[in-house]
């Protein structure tokens, strides 16, 4: 619930131009790989089973 409220506050700040949004190029494959490895390590630390995600470019 707190995250939702924070998101609403941040959106309001963006709309009122109190926060500047920077747009930049990024490699989506690197971002997905980072997130996958982050959560994989989290799951392994709790001895949980994970589902692999494989994408062919």
Mean pLDDT of 12-32: 89
pLDDT of residue 25: 92
Q: Is residue 48 part of a domain?
A: yes
Q: What's the pLDDT at 37? A: 86
In a domain, 34, yes or no: yes
- The answer to whether position 39 is within a domain reads yes
pLDDT interval class at 49 (50, 70, 90)? low
Cα-based torsion angle of the residue sequence 31, 34, 40, 43 in order, rounded to the nearest 10 degrees: -90
For 14, the token pair is 């963006």
How many folded domains does the chain comprise? 1
Domain residue limits at 40 = 25-57
pLDDT of residue 50: 59
């Amino acid at each position: 619930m707190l995250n939702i409220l924070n998101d609403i506050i941040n959106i309001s700040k963006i709309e009122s131009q109190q926060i500047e949004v920077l747009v930049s190029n990024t490699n989506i494959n690197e971002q997905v790989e980072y997130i996958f490895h982050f959560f994989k390590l989290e799951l392994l630390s709790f001895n949980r089973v994970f589902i692999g995600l494989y994408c062919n470019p």
